[in-house]
Structure 1
C-alpha cells in the first residue's frame, strides 16, 4: 500500500496535500511518513458518509423544541444555593420530590424490600430470567395501588396489566398496536410536549390537534373533536384513536364525569380507540375530584370497553421516574396479548418489581403516602399560586398535578410565537428560570407557560418566586386584581383557531 502511495506522489504536487508543506521530489524520502499520513487523511475525507435510517434522522423527535432546549440550558448552568446561586432553576421538569422522604423512611424501616437480604427475594431471583409478563406479586400490588388512588371505586384485574419501562414506552407501544404509519391520533391541546416524540417518532403515526382555547378555559368540546375529525377527513387521513390526559398535563386539572361520558360517546360513534393517560391520578389534591374512565365504564356495565386503554406510571405519583415503571391496562383481550408480546422491548427489572411489590403491598404505608402526598402537593401548589398572584400573574385554577398553567400574555410584545419565545428566552437567560412555553405544548394561544413546582425544594421555590417578582417589577407590569380562572371541564361550543405549534405555518394541521 505504501509503495503504491509513494508512486502516486510522483504524479501530484505535494503542496496540495498540506498548505504548510513544501518540498521537492528529491526530498520525499525523508518525509514519507508525514506525506502518507496526509494523503490517507485526504482519501478518508472524500469517502461518502454512512447513511442512517429515515426514522433515525427524522425531526419528529422534537428535540429542537424549546421544551428540550430549556433542559439543556439548565444542564449547562444548574442552580445551587451555595455553588451556583445565580444558575438556572429547573421548573420545566414534572417530577415529584415533595414526598420522597416517605419513600426513604420506608426503605430504612424495611431494608429487606431491596431484595439483597433474606427478605422477599434473593440475588439469584433478581439476576436470573423471570416472567416477561411481569412478576405476579408486582402486578397484583400495582392493581391494588391503582384501585387505592382512585378511592377504591373501581377494580383492576392484574392479568390485564402489561408492564413497560415507563409511560413513554406504554404510549408508544399502544400507538404501534392501534394505528398504522400514516394514520393519526386525536390529541387535545395544550398537550405534553413529549407526545410528539412518544406517539410519532418511531411509529410513523400522525397527531391531529384538537384545538382548545382560553375562551372556554381550554375545555375539551364535542365541537372541537368534530372539527379535528373533519380536518383529518379532508386530508384523507384515518383517525384511529383519541388520547386524553386526565388529570391534564399541562393544565393541572381533572376532567369532569360529564365530559368523560361525552368522550366515550364520541369514540363509540366514530368507532375509534380511547387512550386515557392517568399518570397523575394519585396527584389530585382531593380524591373526590378525580374520575377515572374506568369508573365510567363500570357504571356502563363495560359497554364498548374493548376500545378503552388506560396508561399509568409510578414516575409522578410515587416520584420514581428513574425506576422506569409504566403500565398499560386494556379492556381489549387482543390488545393485552399483543402488548405483552411487544413489551419484551421495554421490560422492568426483576429487582425493581420485587422492591415495589413489597412497598405497594403494604397498605398502611400506601394509605399514609397517598394522603400525605396529596396534602403536600396542595400546600405547595397554593403557596406557589399565591406567590404568582402577589407578582401580578394569573393562572388557571388547578386541582392536580405537579405544575400550573401560567398566563403571561400581558408581557408579550406581540401575540405571536416569536413574541412568546422572546419572552421565554428572557426568562431563561435573564431571570434564570427554565419554564415551558405554551407553543411547545401546541397551545392555540401564545403567552401561556407550564411551570413545575414539585421538583425543587421549598427554599429554591422561594428563590424562584423572588426572581419572578423582580422580573415583573422591572417590566413595570402589575395586574392589580389578578384571579385564577375556573378550569372545571365542561362541554361548550367553541370556534377552533390555531396557527400551528410553531406560529404562522402552512395550512397543514398535521404534526
Structure 2
C-alpha cells in the first residue's frame, strides 16, 4: 500500500550514530534533575558564543522587531518571496564567506543558491550531478549522516576512499585511485568526489597536497568535486584553512573544464552557531547547476524573516570579525580541555586544528582488534559510562577503535563531569586488566612450578 521508499529501511538510522542519540533521548543528563543521565557528546553544535549574538540582539531591538530604519518591514517579509532569496542577504553571505577565507577569494552572489541547511544543499547537488545508481567517492572516516543525506532519496551510491591512521588519515593519490577502481569493479559510474574541509569527524583542514591530488584526480577522471566547507570558520589553529576554490584560482583554472565542476557547500550552522535557523547554500561556477539547484530550492526555502535578521547581523562587520575571533579562541580552549581530560584518562587524540570535535584513539581499550570489540566498547561507554560518543565504524573508518567526541555543545562544567566519568572508566578497565593479568601470571607461575617439578621428577633415576 505504501511506496518502496516508505517500505524499505534505507535511511541509515540503524547506525550506532543514530542509536546513540536514541539512548541519550531516553535518559538525558541534567546537572540538577538527572545528574546520572547520558551526556550528549555526539552532537556537533557550537554553543560557545551564544552570549555574543544575544548581546548583539539586545543592542539592535529594531532588527528583532522586523524594522528597517525605524519602519516596520513585517508586511514585506510576511509576503511570498521567490526561491532566489533576498539579494541583500546573499550579498552579505558571499562577503562573510570571503572574510573567513582571508579575502583571498571573491565570491559572486549570482552563483549562490540558498537552501534550508547544508543537508538539502548536499542532497540537491547529488540530484544535479548524478543519476540513481551512479557513485560519489568519499574519504573515510566521513560524517555518518552522509549515508542518509546523499543516498536515501537520490539513489546515489557512496564508494569509500579508505584513509589510514599511518599518515593521519590524509587523502593520497593512491587511495583515490583504489576507490575509483573499486567503483569500476562494482560497475558504478563515478560522477565525483565529496570531501569535508575541515574534516568531520577528524577536525583537520586539508593541506595543499591533498587539494592538488583531488583536483588532478578530478581532471584526469573528468568528474566533479563537492567541497563541504561548513566548518571553515571554526579553524582555531594553524595551518590556516584553504578552500578548494582558492587553490583552483591559484592554478588559474578559470578556462579549464574543471572550473565548472567544482562546487562548495556552506552553512551558518557551525560557524555562526545557529543550526536551528536552517541556512545553507551551494556555490558553483556552473550556471546550469546554479539554475537547477535554485529551482529545486523551492522545496526547502529559508524564511524571509531569517534572511532579514541574519543579513543585519552579517552586515555589522565589526561584530562578525570580533565574533569569529572570539569563537575560535573559545573553541581552541575547549578542545584543549577535552584533550587534557582524555590524556588524564590515558587516551590520545588525533592532532586537530578545526571543528567542534576530536578524533579519539581508544584502540588500546578494545578486547580485540575487531569492529565487534569496538561496538562492545561503544555500548559500555554509552550505557555504563553515560557518554554518547560516535563509534568510528559509523563513520566508515577502516580501523576499529577510533571515536568522535564533540566538545562545543555543552557547558564547561558538563565537560568536566564527562572527563571524570571517562577517567573512572579507564581506571576501572585498567584495574580489571591488571587483575586479570595478575591471575594469568599467577596461573602461569603455578603451571611453571608444576612443570618444573614434573620435569625434576622425570629426570630422577627410577628406583
Same-fold call, TM cutoff 0.5: yes
The match for 2:349 is 395
Alignment partners' CA distance in 1, 2:124 and 2:72: 30
Relative to its length, the structure with more helix (as a share) is: 2
1:115, distance to aligned residue in structure 2 (A) = 4.5
Cα deviation digits, residues 72-96 of structure 1 (max 9, x gap)? 1111111011000000000000000
The match for 2:18 is 68
Whether contact under 8 Å (2:137, 2:179) holds in the other structure is yes
The match for 2:185 is 234
- Choose the corresponding residue for 2:38, options 63, 88, 92: 88
2:108 corresponds to 1:162: no
Whether contact under 8 Å (1:285, 1:400) holds in the other structure is yes
Alignment partners' CA distance in 2, 1:140 and 1:116: 19
- Choose the corresponding residue for 2:94, options 140, 143, 146: 143
Cα deviation digits, residues 56-106 of structure 1 (max 9, x gap)? 233221111110111111111110110000000000000000111111111
The match for 1:216 is 167
**SS where residue 208 of structure 1 aligns?**
strand
Alignment partners' CA distance in 1, 2:72 and 2:263: 32
CA 1:125–1:477 in 2, change beyond 3 Å: closer, same or farther?
farther
2:424 corresponds to 1:464: no
- Choose the corresponding residue for 1:185, options 136, 142, 167: 136
The match for 2:374 is 420
CA 1:188–1:110 in 2, change beyond 3 Å: closer, same or farther?
same
Query: For 1:13-412, what aligned pairs fall within 5 Å after superposition?
Result: 51-119=1-69, 122-286=73-237, 289-301=240-252, 302=254, 303=256, 304-412=258-366
CA 1:127–1:465 in 2, change beyond 3 Å: closer, same or farther?
same
1:348, distance to aligned residue in structure 2 (A) = 0.3
CA 1:249–1:121 in 2, change beyond 3 Å: closer, same or farther?
farther
**SS where residue 389 of structure 1 aligns?**
helix
**SS where residue 5 of structure 2 aligns?**
coil
- Choose the corresponding residue for 1:452, options 391, 406, 418: 406
Alignment partners' CA distance in 1, 2:96 and 2:238: 14
The match for 1:432 is 386
Whether contact under 8 Å (1:147, 1:153) holds in the other structure is yes
Whether contact under 8 Å (2:45, 2:409) holds in the other structure is yes
Whether contact under 8 Å (2:239, 2:353) holds in the other structure is no
Alignment partners' CA distance in 2, 1:332 and 1:121: 38
1:351, distance to aligned residue in structure 2 (A) = 0.2
1:393, distance to aligned residue in structure 2 (A) = 0.3
**SS where residue 276 of structure 1 aligns?**
strand
1:132, distance to aligned residue in structure 2 (A) = 1.4
1:131, distance to aligned residue in structure 2 (A) = 2.8
1:288, distance to aligned residue in structure 2 (A) = 5.4
Task: Structure 2: give runs of 5+ residues left out of the alignment.
Answer: 433-463
Q: TM-score, normalised by structure 2?
A: 0.91
The match for 2:442 is none
**SS where residue 218 of structure 2 aligns?**
helix
**SS where residue 376 of structure 1 aligns?**
helix
Q: Work out the number of aligned pairs and report it.
A: 429
1:294, distance to aligned residue in structure 2 (A) = 1.4
Alignment partners' CA distance in 2, 1:226 and 1:352: 43
Q: TM-score, normalised by structure 1?
A: 0.82
CA 1:121–1:256 in 2, change beyond 3 Å: closer, same or farther?
farther
**SS where residue 227 of structure 2 aligns?**
strand
Alignment partners' CA distance in 1, 2:206 and 2:198: 7
1:177, distance to aligned residue in structure 2 (A) = 0.5
Whether contact under 8 Å (1:92, 1:450) holds in the other structure is yes
RMSD: 1.4
The match for 2:438 is none
The match for 1:15 is none
